[in-house]
């Protein structure tokens, strides 16, 4: 069973959960917009779009619920099974992509490629700084989850 321990205050988790609920529609739109869809079948195209939007929105809702429902200090997110862990991994990816395409759209790629949580401090607005902190944090959560799911990978 996958388990993530987070050192976050209850207030921070509540704020993050609320932000994720707000981000869900943008994540759903982004999932559809960035996908190149088959063009020769309008019916299939519509179903394809709906599938992408539904899965991204559902993943974000799952992640928000998991974070806001975490118990203890540090907060512990317990995922019931591996399938839930995979859903969380996809959600973290959806939110990172959404942050990249919205608040962090003006930040160069090289400033975002650090995977060790080191954030470039200079030249960012406060909003960009907060978004980058979330972006890095979610990347680290992804790595932690992947290590639990497959320690040999």
Partner 1 sequence: MPKTKAKPQPESAVAPAREPVWRVVVANDPVNTMPYVVACFVRVLQVDTAEARRLMLDIHRNGKGVVWSGARERAEVLVLQLQQWHLRATLESDG
Give contact residues for partner 1 (rule: CB under 8 A): 31, 34-36, 38, 48, 51-52, 55-56, 86, 89-90, 93-94, 96-97, 100, 109, 112-113, 115, 139, 142-143, 146, 149-150, 152-153
Minimal distance in Å, beta carbon 9 to partner 1? 27
The CA-CA-CA angle for residues 16, 80, 27, to 5°, reads 40
Minimal distance in Å, beta carbon 14 to partner 1? 26
Residue nearer to partner 1 on the CB measure, 13 or 89: 89
Minimal distance in Å, beta carbon 1 to partner 1? 18
Using an 8 Å Cβ cutoff, are 61 and 21 in contact?
yes
Residue nearer to partner 1 on the CB measure, 64 or 136: 136
Residue nearer to partner 1 on the CB measure, 26 or 52: 52
Minimal distance in Å, beta carbon 52 to partner 1? 6
> Whole-angstrom Cα distance, residue 107 to residue 120?
10
Residue nearer to partner 1 on the CB measure, 64 or 94: 94
> Whole-angstrom Cα distance, residue 139 to residue 15?
19
C-alpha distances (whole Å) from 130 to each of 20, 31, 47, 134 are 14, 22, 35, 6
Q: Report H helices in 2-122.
A: 10-34, 42-68, 82-101
């Amino acid at each position: 069973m996958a388990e993530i321990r987070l050192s976050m205050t209850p207030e921070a988790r509540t704020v993050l959960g609320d932000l994720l609920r707000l981000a869900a529609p943008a994540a759903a739109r982004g999932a559809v917009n960035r996908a190149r869809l088959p063009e020769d079948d309008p019916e299939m195209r519509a179903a394809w779009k709906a599938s992408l939007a539904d899965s991204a929105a559902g993943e974000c809702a799952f992640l928000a619920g998991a974070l806001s429902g975490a118990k203890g200090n540090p907060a512990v997110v317990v995922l019931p099974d591996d399938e839930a862990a995979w859903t969380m991994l996809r959600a973290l990816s959806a939110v990172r992509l959404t942050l990249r395409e919205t608040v962090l759209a003006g930040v160069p790629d090289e400033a975002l490629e650090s995977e060790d949580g080191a954030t470039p401090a200079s030249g960012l607005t406060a909003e960009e700084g907060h978004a980058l902190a979330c972006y890095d944090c979610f990347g680290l959560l992804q790595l932690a989850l992947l290590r639990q799911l497959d320690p040999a990978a």
